[in-house]
Amino acid sequence: MEPTPYDPYCEPAVYRNKLWAVKGSVWNSEDGLHWSCVNPKTPFGVRGYGELVVFQDMMWQLGSGPDVWRTRDGVE
Higher pLDDT, 23 or 63: 23
pLDDT computed for residue 29 by the predictor: 95
pLDDT computed for residue 49 by the predictor: 80
pLDDT computed for residue 13 by the predictor: 96
pLDDT computed for residue 37 by the predictor: 94
Over residues 30-74, the pLDDT tens digits come to: 999 899 999 999 888 787 788 999 999 999 998 877 888 999 999
| Mean pLDDT (whole number) for 4-22 | 91
The 11-15 sheet, strands edge to edge: 11-15, 18-22, 26-29, 35-39
